[in-house]
Structure 1
Amino acid sequence: MIVLGPLSRAAALAGLLLTAGLTAAPAYAGPAEVALLKSYIGEWRGRGTVVGASTESVVCRLTLSQGNQDKVNYNGRCTLAGTNLSVAGTLAYVDANRRFEAAMTSNATFSGVAVGQKRGNGLVFNLRERTPDEEGKDMNISAQIALNGDAISVGFDVVYVESGDSLKAQVPFSR
C-alpha cells in the first residue's frame, strides 16, 4: 500500500471545496437563481475526517461574498496533517448553459468542472475528474457539495488509478 504524502493529500483535498473549471460565459440569472446563490454569502466552518492509509482530521473555513454581476465569490482553506489547501472561485447561474456552475483555482494545481443542480430549497454541485497527482500518477476524483438551508456538506472520494489506494472524506460546514 502506498503512503500518501501531504501534497498528494492536498491535491485530493482540492475536491473538497467546490471544484470547478473557469467559466467564460456571462451569468444572466433570474432573480430566484441569484437569490439562492446569495443566500449562502457569509462565513462557514467545517471539521471532518479524511480516511485513507490512515485517518486524519481536516479543518476548513469558507467565505462566500458578493462578486461581480450576479456571481458569488468564495475563498476557502483546509488544514490536513500540517498541509494547507487554499481555493478561490466563483459560483454563478449561467443562462447560456441553463445551469449553476462553479469555478475554482487552488494551490494544489487541481481544477475541474462542477455543475450545480437545484434540489429542493438548495443546490448540489457534482464533480468527476481524472487528474495527475504531484508524481504524475492519475487519480479519479468524485466530489459533491450540497448547499441546503443553513448548512453545507462536502464529500469526496479519490482513487489512485495505478495502486487502487483511496481517500474519502465528509465534512459538514455551518455558519
Structure 2
Amino acid sequence: MTDWASLLVPAGGVLLGGIVAGASAMWSQAITQKATHRREREAREHAFAVKRYEIDRDSLLQLQEAINAHYVALIKVATSLASDTLLMEYATYRMNIVSLANRVLDPKVKQSVIAYLEAAKEDSEDSGTEVQPAIAASRAHDAIGRALARDPFFN
C-alpha cells in the first residue's frame, strides 16, 4: 500500500500542477484577448470619429459655398426680371443647402441655415431689400465658422 501511495503523491502533484498551470495560462490569455479587443474597439471608434469629422467638415465647407451661391442668385432674382433659368438655379441652390444642412451635426448651424432660408424666402416673395437675408447669411456663416473652428477630439 505504501508503494501505491508513494507513486500517487508525485503523480497527483504533477497532475494538479498541470491543471493549475493550464488554468492560469488560459486565464492570462483571456485577459490579454480582452485588453486587445478593447484597444481594437477603441481604435475603430476613433477611426469612425475621424471619418465622421471629415464628412462633417466637408459638408460645412460645401454649405458655405452653397449659401454664397444662393445669396448671389437671390440678389439676381431681386434686382432683375427673373428668368426661368435663374429661378431654377435659385431653387437648385436652395435644395442643395437643405441637403447639406441635413448632413451637418451641429444644431446651431442647422438653425442658422433654416433662419437664412426663411429670410431668403420672405425676401424673394416680397422683392424688398436684401438686408434680412444678408444678416441671416452672415449668422449662418458665423455658425459654420464656429463649427469648423471647434476641435471635435478635445472636449
Q: Which TM-score applies when normalising by structure 2?
A: 0.28
Q: Which has the higher contact order (CA 8 A, sep 6+)?
A: 1
Which structure's residues are more often strand, by fraction?
1
State which structure, 1 or 2, has the greater radius of gyration over its C-alpha atoms. Answer: 2
Q: Which TM-score applies when normalising by structure 1?
A: 0.25
